[in-house]
Amino acid sequence: MGRDSLSSNNPSTRLQQQIPAAMKKTFQVNINGKIYHIDEDAYTLLQNYLAQLRDAFPGDEGIEIVNDIEFRISEHFDQRLAGGASVIVIDDVNRVISIMGRPDEITDEAGFESDASEPSRPSRPEPFGAETSPVADGATPPPFHKKFFRDERHKVFGGVIAGLGQYLGWDVTVLRILVVVATLSLTKFGLFWPLLLGYLICWMVIPPARTPRQILEMRGEPVTVDNVGQTVIDNIAPPAAPVPSGGSVSNVINSIFLIIGRIILVILGLVGGLVGFATAIVGIVIVGGVTCLYFASNDTLLTAFGISSGSPYLQGWGCALVLFAVALPALCLCRVGIATLFRAPSMSVTAIISLIVLEAVFIIGSCILLGLGNGPMEFFDTFACNVSSVLYTVSAVSMVPVVIS
């Protein structure tokens, strides 16, 4: 569509100007022959975005590309309205832009020079004679090289195998089966963890294909205006499965790999969280234990509460705190598992910090009370033993090994 594809209803605009400033104005816009209600911020952003796309894709071919992009945008807005929304807001427009990519990412990384290439367009043959590449009009096609990127659109874990399939031109399902079989075969030689480490390194080092130029280089296609425009259109639409597939059997296998991948990611997330949790507790115990040694060297604090050293009440409260220190990580594990399975909202940072502090209080308190329960003279001999015992119990429940030297 032309530059006037977004047009506001003037009577409605004049009427909405009388609305208080606290309320947002809305416009009626025409996108791909459909009328949408859109607020002022989203209208301005979308209008600027389409204008930048027209500048990035000049000429007759550029008009067709922008028209196709507007068609995809209207499909996205239709899905948004079908979900219960009544007005298109700026978050909807930002979501579309994040899927397609910004015009500067398209033009700058693709190496296009719209102003310089515009005068040479009239000498291009007519569409019916343009079967060959742009070399026919005397222009040198932009050089392209096939590169290895991670394919995040068809990933199971990090997109490394999917990107390798794109690079080699193989069926990604067959490649995944070969990788799994090879990994299982090499496991008996003790190579599972090196292979896993190598995959994680590739995940961190190899960049993902996000911009249109990177996607084309990953597929080994020349970076031209037509290909970049088609890539932009494909990115806003649902994935059209450019990776070769083997039919329904391939889809079932991909689903199985996807489920296994999610399970492994959940396990890795739990282990990583528990390791961090245990590390934080050990650090707090070491710092807090040094401070608490001062109070264990005299009976002043105990006599202030009418408690004598070696009292069985101290050992009882120490055992109770040990139970609390063991139960808290177990409850946190249940909370994380439920949140992962049922997609419940995760705990806030404040809640996590509070739980860590509470766990540290339980551990430090139990160690001190159990030590004082044996008398202040024996406290220094039993404090380290109590710390090791409590942390070992907590780590056994949390499935995280804690080493005390």
Evaluate whether 212 touches 101 at the Cβ level (below 8 Å).
yes
Kindly report the average pLDDT of the chain as a whole number. Answer: 67
As a whole number of Å, the CA-based R_g of the chain is 32
pLDDT value of residue 247:
47
Q: Which two tokens stand for residue 207?
A: 């960049």
Side-chain-facing half-sphere of 198: CA atoms under 13 Å: 8
pLDDT value of residue 343:
59
Residue-wise pLDDT tens digits, 164-188? 888 888 888 888 888 888 888 888 8
The answer to whether residue 202 scores a pLDDT higher than 70 is yes
End-to-end Cα spacing for the chain = 72
How far, in Å, CA of 39 to CA of 16, rounded? 11
Give the dihedral of Cα atoms 231, 233, 235, 241; nearest 10 deg.
Answer: -80
Q: Label residue 229 by pLDDT band (50, 70, 90).
A: low
The answer to whether residue 394 scores a pLDDT higher than 80 is no
Average pLDDT score over residue span 219-247:
54
State the CB neighbour count (10 A cutoff) for residue 179. 15
Residue-wise pLDDT tens digits, 265-282? 677 667 766 666 666 666
Ramachandran angles phi, psi of 343, nearest 5°? 55, 40
43 against 69, higher pLDDT: 43
The answer to whether residue 7 scores a pLDDT higher than 60 is no
70 against 259, higher pLDDT: 70
Q: Which two tokens stand for residue 264?
A: 């492994």
How far, in Å, CA of 285 to CA of 364, rounded? 6
Average pLDDT score over residue span 257-263:
70
DSSP string for 279-330 = HHHHHHHHHHHHHHHHHHT-SHHHHHTT--TT-HHHHHHHHHHHHHHHHHHH
pLDDT value of residue 58:
73
pLDDT > 70 in the chain, percent:
49
Average pLDDT score over residue span 303-326:
66
The answer to whether residue 16 scores a pLDDT higher than 50 is no
Residue-wise pLDDT tens digits, 90-145? 888 888 887 766 766 555 444 444 443 443 333 333 333 334 444 444 445 445 56
The gap from C-alpha 345 to its chain's centroid, in whole angstroms, comes to: 15
Domain boundaries, the chain: 3-137, 152-257, 258-398
Per DSSP, 132 falls in state: S
pLDDT value of residue 405:
38
The answer to whether residue 402 scores a pLDDT higher than 60 is no
pLDDT value of residue 317:
74
The residues, any chain, with a CB within 8 Å of residue 81's CB and separated by 6 or more, are 36, 88
394 against 346, higher pLDDT: 346
Residue-wise pLDDT tens digits, 54-66? 877 777 777 777 7
